[in-house]
A and B are shown apart, each in its own frame.
Chain A
Amino acid sequence: MPRPAGSAAGRLARKLWRIATANITIEAGIVLFLLVVAVAVFAPLIATHDPLDQDLFERLGTPSTEHWLGTDSFGRDIFSRIVFGARISLVIGLSAVLTAMVVGSFLGVLSGYLGGWVDQLVGQATNILLAFPSLILGLMVVAFLGPSMINLIAAIALATVPQFVRVARAPTVALRDRDYIQACRALGFSPLRTMLRHVLPNIWPEILVMATLWLATAIRVEASLAFIGLGVKPPTPTWGGMIREGFENILTSLWLAIFPSLAILVVVFALNLIGDGLRDALDPRLRKDE
């Protein structure tokens, strides 16, 4: 059947929609994740209190109609802090993973397509980074550069880059000797054009799956860094930082640590649902594309 060429963006949107609705796992994950995103975006409307407002008469308050999830040791509203904390988690997580995805995928495709010394160099650098657990690597970078938003993003991105290098390189190597990639050389296309226009569009499903799974990890790493005191500086509410503060009163006020933990759990769970669902939807290659 004839199919209109359509714009590249239109086709990508349609393809994304088809993948997003491929199975119930993905749908559930996406709905849950979008809910969290909505909370972060509309935080000022959703929060019942100013997250920084201290009320020394209401310290360590139990959940009530006034403070839905109680108050912390400075009398700040936990619910409002969790709502605003979503912004930090998402901004850092998304920025870090997006950076890592762009840089890592490019390096992976470059290394797989060109081979030779480029491949050696990228491969060795990747192995060195992979030798460190992402938390340790993030910790070292933040300890070195100091805990600011940008440094946190850089640290988590650096720890995540090797994953994207690997996931982009393997299918590129497999594609390199396929006739239609060889045809690009025969047609006199530059290596850059071949990689961006012909290799990348054929391997991005793997990269997308990786991105959702590592977004969950990035958010966890950010929370972990905040927990050990290397997160965005207080009094800015971060989930990891709230757990740390709650930890100091864990015996008397359990909810202080529980509620922000639950927030992290929800986000990570949502992203893992999407990632696993995507892997199922894309892996068997049941359908010929388009």
Chain B
Amino acid sequence: MTPPAPRGPLLEGFNLTKTFEARRRMGAPRARVHALDDVSLTVAYRETLGLVGESGCGKSTAGRTLLRLLEPDAGSIWFDGEDITHAVPRHMRALRKRLQIIFQDPYASLDPRMTVYETLAEVLRVHNVCPRREIPARVAELLDTVGLPPSAAGRYPHAFSGGQRQRIGIARSLSVAPDLIVADEAVSALDVSIQAQILELLARLREKRGLSYLFISHDLGVVRYFCQRAVVMYLGRIVESGPVAALFDAPLHPYTRMLRQASPVPDPVQARATVQVTGEVPSPLAPPPGCHFHPRCPLATAICRQERPAMRDAGGGRLVACHLYREEGKEGQASFS
């Protein structure tokens, strides 16, 4: 399960900002949801980057903006050394051969009126992946790759289980031979046993095809197992990033600690969370000033309420955006243990 070492950036987002206009009530001022607030992240060649956070924190928006399924309000997107922020539609459609996505809901992501064969063959035809007469063989090969029998080709999506549908979705993404796949909560909707199978499939593809993933998930356990590095988002901002082992074993940001302690531990003997997740996520319509996390942070001080913390290098490939972080980094942690 150790893929080759990453080399150089493949997909990069710089200072991405995306806001959505909220539904307006009569006479009320125009409200905007800040889904992405100055978000920068990099997925390296052959790297699997996890993107974690609570629902509504902007992780899906980040994934879709990086693929330009949503247009960023500000910032830039680079793919394989090329600025694709303003790539024209025709060029973008060609780039999509290399950039793919797997959706969360395997029931909603397949056209219910097309057989598996039609779904896969259409992609092969549109991108001229192979000569027409080779399409049937290619479809069979794709099905085999994702562990589905050749007989699956003639059936409609509704004839499959969630896990099988997710395999079809993966086959569809693979049909164009991409370099990078954004897995948007790709296993969240599945049973735990099926999750393991799909993760195993994704891991095998990573090894065989040298794929990179942006793996969006709220499940820390899955991210820890599957990813090399991870980025933690809170209310549209990145609060911390780094290699998964360091990030989750010795989190620097109080929010990462809270997340980690809230996630279930398989070993019941191991100490349960000493700090419960407290409070609700504030409305993204009116995020708190300063550090977005300060209303829920047990360590918040005056500066946290006023100033946005800058992203600081914490060594070992780690970054953290917290006023309380010192080079030693031990102050905050002491009060948790």
Known: A183-B103, A186-B101. A2 touches B127 (CB 8 A): no
What's the nearest-Cβ distance from chain A to residue B212, in Å?
16
Q: Is B43 an interface residue (CB 8 A)?
A: no
Across the interface, name the chain B residue whose C-beta is closest to A1.
B159
Q: Is A178 an interface residue (CB 8 A)?
A: yes
B156: which of A3, A179, A183, A202 is its contact (CB, 8 Å)? A3
Jot down 26 A-B pairs with beta carbons below 8 A, ordered by A.
Answer: A2-B155, A5-B117, A5-B154, A179-B108, A179-B109, A180-B110, A182-B69, A183-B101, A183-B103, A185-B69, A186-B67, A186-B69, A186-B96, A187-B126, A187-B176, A188-B94, A188-B95, A188-B96, A188-B97, A188-B126, A188-B127, A189-B93, A189-B122, A189-B126, A193-B126, A202-B111
Whether B113 contacts A202 by the Cβ 8 Å rule is: yes
What class of interface size applies to chain A in its complex with B?
20 to 34
Closest 3 CB pairs of A and B: A188-B96, A188-B93, A179-B109
Q: Is B283 an interface residue (CB 8 A)?
A: no
Number of interface residues of B (CB under 8 A): 36
Q: Is A233 an interface residue (CB 8 A)?
A: no
**B91-145 at interface with A (beta carbon < 8 Å):** 92-97, 100-101, 103-105, 108-113, 115, 117-118, 122-123, 126-127
Q: Is A197 an interface residue (CB 8 A)?
A: yes
Q: Is B337 an interface residue (CB 8 A)?
A: no
**A32-70 at interface with B (beta carbon < 8 Å):** none
Whether B109 contacts A180 by the Cβ 8 Å rule is: yes
**B66-98 at interface with A (beta carbon < 8 Å):** 67, 69, 92-97
CA distance A2 to B101 in the complex (A): 28
Q: Is B153 an interface residue (CB 8 A)?
A: yes
Whether A3 contacts B127 by the Cβ 8 Å rule is: no
Across the interface, name the chain A residue whose C-beta is closest to B95.
A188
CA distance A160 to B10 in the complex (A): 52
B residues less than 8 Å from A197 (CB atoms): 122
Q: Is A235 an interface residue (CB 8 A)?
A: no
**A136-180 at interface with B (beta carbon < 8 Å):** 178-180
Q: Is B151 an interface residue (CB 8 A)?
A: yes
Q: Beyond A3-B156, A193-B126: 20 further Cβ-contacts under 8 Å?
A: A3-B115, A4-B154, A5-B115, A5-B117, A178-B108, A179-B105, A179-B108, A180-B108, A180-B109, A180-B111, A182-B109, A183-B101, A185-B69, A186-B100, A186-B101, A187-B123, A188-B96, A188-B97, A197-B122, A289-B112
B residues less than 8 Å from A116 (CB atoms): none
